[in-house]
Amino acid sequence: MKSYRNYINGRWVEAKSGRRTQSINPANGEVLGEVPLSGPEDVEEAVAAAREAFRSWRLVPAPKRGEILYRAAEILRERKEELARMLTREMGKVLPEARGDVQEAIDITYYMAGEGRRQFGHTVPAELPNKWAMSVREPIGVIAVITPWNFPVAIPSWKMMPSLVLGNTVVFKPASDTPILAAMLVEILEEAGLPPGVVNLVFGSGEEVGEALLRHPGVDMVSFTGSVESGVHVATMCAQHGLKRVSLELGGKNAIIVLEDANLDLALEGILWSAFGTTGQRCTACSRVIVQRSVAKKLEEMIAERAARLRLGDGLLETTDVGPLIHRRAVERVHRYVEIGRQEGARLVLGGEPAQEGELAKGSFYRPTVFADVRPDMRIAREEIFGPVLSLIPVDTLEEAIQVNNSVQYGLSSAIYTQDVNRAFTAIRDLATGIVYVNAGTIGAEIQLPFGGYRNTGNGHREAGQAALDAYSEWKSIYVDYSGRLQRAQIDNQ
């Protein structure tokens, strides 16, 4: 069994406490490796290394920083299959989706490598004669990157690549459930030529390592992806400990709206992919279908028929459509929601129980589950379940569908199936989510556009695209007066 270590100041080191924990395959309980269980003393060293490295990394010309990322992207591409296979074993998603996770990391790494030669600022006319006005981006400093397990390669890359190309340094605390992928990603950054201290990796729990990062005065920004509960805590701590900048990407309760004029066969494909892909464990997963009443019964039958045929199993097998949940606690949590749905009076159409026959008993599997006659005020229609549970909510009009979509605390992704361009554009305008799809499911974001959500899905920042540069940099506005005399803005030119 392979043993992994923290990466601090360019060296692979044990946690000071010597404590260790294991990484487990959720499909079958296989032990994949051992990682350190670090504490605040390891965080101390990692932050000190990142602070020291920041002094020189911020002065490395951005095109050079971009070249290192370009090499990292090339190595990611070469090792894609190896990473994807480990990803399926450590996190559970089926192999084609694991390849997609790695591909997303490759895409953002190339994209941000290109930013080495862009990072545009503004040069604008000054209002006074003989005066120059421009703005440039500057790095923020040391960024703590705290990530979840559901996209263990893509999400850390979304955060680290823009941070690095802008000249920041990083302390990375990955999710406890997917440490090996984190080690592989950092190995690649090391091989690509990142100087010591620019990226540091500290394994350990949110309570110990995460908390220490939130409190540390040497951390300038926390970039966090996880649940709303954790996000509120992170934001509070960051406010109390030095008013750190904080970027939050939190939960979702995403809906697909199906209107009566929709191509139902197309909608069916989008619904199945969005609801049961990654076993429903995506922040953009579809967990609500808001359907016009006249086609509700037909769509319900189509979904039930197809979802019943989805095959559960180890994500490495070609025959598997749906992999395991991340661990047994997740199975219990999903099942609690199913019980709540029953008690609330929703009609269970399919699933509703863990899957334990044969080989499945070794892993954390839950049957694809569909509820019909769900009312928008039910808990299963409002709270993030993060599992393969879909609620069908009947409505009468497009306006009602949009109102139901917008009524939850989350606002990440939404979709509408219709063939009427007027209704499509009305929905594009009125759906209050950070991502809107027309005639496609709620998942499948591309890295060149901003990623994030309205309301409690975040705190206004965005990942990916040009928007990520705003999250991980400061703006500096510069005025050069070459008139040789005092010129007073807003006064002398009136």
Residues tagged active-site:
249, 283
CB 16 within 8 A of CB 39: yes
Q: Which is nearer to ligand NAP, 23 or 418 (CB)?
A: 23
Helices (H), 249-327: 264-276, 293-307
CB of 390 to ligand NAP, least distance (A): 16
Q: Which is nearer to ligand NAP, 135 or 466 (CB)?
A: 466
Residues of this chain that interact with ligand NAP (CB under 6 A) are 146-151, 173, 175-176, 205-207, 210-211, 214, 225-227, 230, 233-234, 249-252, 283, 384, 386, 412, 457
For the CA atoms of the chain, what is the radius of gyration?
Answer: 24
In the chain, helix, strand, coil percent, each to 5? 40, 20, 35
How far are the Cα atoms of 64, 94, 245, 479 from residue 201, in angstroms, in the given order? 23, 27, 20, 39
Edge-to-edge strand ranges of the sheet holding 473-481: 123-125, 131-139, 473-481
The C-alpha torsion from 117 through 120 and 126 to 131, rounded to 10°, is: -30
Q: Which is nearer to ligand NAP, 148 or 315 (CB)?
A: 148
CB of 87 to ligand NAP, least distance (A): 14
Q: Which is nearer to ligand NAP, 166 or 330 (CB)?
A: 330
CB of 288 to ligand NAP, least distance (A): 14
Element (H, E) at 83: helix 80-91
CB of 177 to ligand NAP, least distance (A): 6
CB of 223 to ligand NAP, least distance (A): 11
Q: Which is nearer to ligand NAP, 234 or 295 (CB)?
A: 234
How far are the Cα atoms of 257, 275, 298, 395, 424 from residue 419, in angstroms, in the given order? 12, 22, 18, 18, 8
- Token duo for residue 374: 């769900």
Using CA atoms, how far apart are residues 112 and 384, in angstroms rounded to an integer?
A: 31
CB 91 within 8 A of CB 149: yes
CB 34 within 8 A of CB 89: no
CB of 154 to ligand NAP, least distance (A): 9
Element (H, E) at 14: none
CB of 237 to ligand NAP, least distance (A): 7
Q: Which is nearer to ligand NAP, 178 or 418 (CB)?
A: 178
Q: Which is nearer to ligand NAP, 116 or 452 (CB)?
A: 452
Q: Which is nearer to ligand NAP, 167 or 206 (CB)?
A: 206
Using CA atoms, how far apart are residues 454 and 78, in angstroms rounded to an integer?
A: 37
Using CA atoms, how far apart are residues 10 and 316, in angstroms rounded to an integer?
A: 33
Using CA atoms, how far apart are residues 328 and 137, in angstroms rounded to an integer?
A: 45
CB 462 within 8 A of CB 471: yes
Q: Where are the beta strands (DSSP E) in 164-253?
A: 169-173, 199-201, 221-225, 245-249
CB of 353 to ligand NAP, least distance (A): 22
Using CA atoms, how far apart are residues 186 and 7, in angstroms rounded to an integer?
A: 8
Directed axis angle between helix 421-430 and helix 398-406, to 10°?
Answer: 20
Q: Which is nearer to ligand NAP, 280 or 394 (CB)?
A: 280
How far are the Cα atoms of 9, 256, 388, 391 from residue 275, in angstroms, in the given order? 42, 10, 6, 10
- Token duo for residue 133: 């006005």
CB of 251 to ligand NAP, least distance (A): 3
Residues 161, 163, 165: CA angle, nearest 5 degrees: 65
Using CA atoms, how far apart are residues 274 and 390, in angstroms rounded to an integer?
A: 10
Handedness of CA 314, 312, 253, 401 (dihedral sign): positive
Which residue in the block uniquely carries the two structure tokens 């661990």?
A: 327
